[in-house]
Amino acid sequence: MTKQEAMQALTPIFHDVFDDDSIVLTDETTAADVEGWDSVEHFNLISEIESRFKMRFSMSEVSGMKNVGELAEIVAERGKL
């Protein structure tokens, strides 16, 4: 899948996890940009993404991601739609 396809597929997951349909994801989106994105919601977000895309993130990937663009790149490389 392409990074753009990953971003499109990630958007409804963010809407569901954060209960906010107004979230618009960009490559530069970070936790600071999304109300309620704390450590607990980060865990929920990663869990939902892993389930949806039938993949697992390594601990270094989870802790090393700087923004949604990096997240989308990993999903595009290894995720399954």
The arrangement of secondary structure in 3-78, i.e. its CATH architecture, is Orthogonal Bundle (1.10)
**Model's pTM, two decimal places?**
0.93
Q: Would you kindly state where each structural domain of the chain is located, as residue ranges?
A: 3-78
Confidence band for 81, pLDDT divided at 50, 70 and 90? confident
- Per residue in 20-78, pLDDT (tens digit) is 999 999 999 999 999 999 999 999 999 999 999 999 999 999 989 999 999 999 999 99
Contacts of residues 37-42 at CB distance under 8 Å and 24 or more positions apart, as own/partner, are: 41/17
